[in-house]
């Protein structure tokens, strides 16, 4: 990950959310962002109707079975996203956020980009950046901070932002928001004690 990328991603995520009319606290819709960028999202189950398309999709997957969550695929001069709708919707929201992040960050790629569970070789730096921006889009730093202030547990965060519990936990931990809030509270109560001392 480039130096300063996390700070950059924090700002960028808020700008992208604002394009969709969503502030730091609202629920993010990765499909709406894809539409905003003119990127069509195809469901694998729809491709299944078309044997050639199905075969092409399976081509990108390990031993012929479709194991990836989402893929960003070049189609002549355009890009499209393949969305594996056999997977859990919350996992798919994260995967589509990841793929659209590659696009927004203008990551160069030769053939096809898959989520981490795919098998294609990838640039670890680019993957980290797309993961990070995807996370900021789904749960911005400010949202994690507010959740910490409200004493939400990981389940509440996951429910509110429609993400998996592991992702909610990761965002809450990475943001350090709970620790910051706990420190602030400790500081405030120490101050109150000092002030009320005779
Ligand atoms: Zn990726």
Stretch 181-187: mean pLDDT, rounded?
87
What pLDDT is attached to residue 78? Answer: 78
Distance 103 CA to ligand 1 centre (A): 10
Q: Could you tell me the two tokens for 31?
A: 């499909």
Query: Phi and psi at residue 69, in whole multiples of 5°?
Result: -85, -45
What pLDDT is attached to residue 107? Answer: 84
Q: What is the DSSP string of 74-141?
A: EETTEEEEEE-TTS-HHHHHHHHHHHHHHHHTT---SS-EE-TTS-S---HHHHHHHHHHHHHHHS-H
pLDDT over 50 (residue 169) = yes
Tell me: the pLDDT tens digits for 96-145? 999 999 999 988 765 555 555 555 556 778 889 999 999 999 999 999 99
Q: What whole-number distance in Å separates Cα of residue 176 and Cα of residue 154?
A: 13
Tell me: the pLDDT tens digits for 81-97? 888 888 899 999 999 99
Distance 5 CA to ligand 1 centre (A): 16
pLDDT over 60 (residue 155) = yes
Distance 187 CA to ligand 1 centre (A): 41
Distance 185 CA to ligand 1 centre (A): 39
Distance 98 CA to ligand 1 centre (A): 6
Distance 150 CA to ligand 1 centre (A): 33
Q: What is the DSSP string of 73-86?
A: EEETTEEEEEE-TT
Distance 94 CA to ligand 1 centre (A): 11
């Amino acid at each position: 990950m480039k130096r300063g990328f996390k700070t950059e991603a924090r700002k960028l995520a808020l700008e992208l959310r604002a394009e969709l009319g969503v502030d730091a606290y609202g629920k993010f819709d990765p499909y709406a962002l894809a539409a905003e960028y003119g990127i069509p999202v195809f469901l694998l189950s729809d491709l299944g109707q078309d044997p050639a398309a199905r075969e092409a999709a399976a081509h990108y997957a390990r031993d012929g079975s479709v194991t990836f969550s989402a893929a960003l695929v070049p189609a002549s001069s355009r890009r499209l996203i393949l969305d594996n709708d056999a997977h859990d919707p919350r996992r798919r929201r994260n995967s589509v956020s990841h793929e659209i992040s590659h696009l927004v960050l203008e990551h160069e790629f030769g053939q096809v980009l898959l989520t981490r569970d795919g098998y294609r070789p990838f640039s670890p730096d680019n993957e980290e950046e797309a993961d990070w921006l995807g996370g900021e889009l789904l749960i911005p730093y400010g949202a994690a901070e507010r959740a910490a202030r409200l004493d939400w547990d990981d389940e509440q965060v996951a429910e509110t932002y429609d993400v998996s519990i592991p992702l909610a936990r990761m965002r809450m931990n990475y943001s350090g928001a709970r620790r910051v809030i706990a420190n602030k509270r400790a500081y405030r109560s120490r101050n109150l004690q000092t002030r009320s001392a005779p």
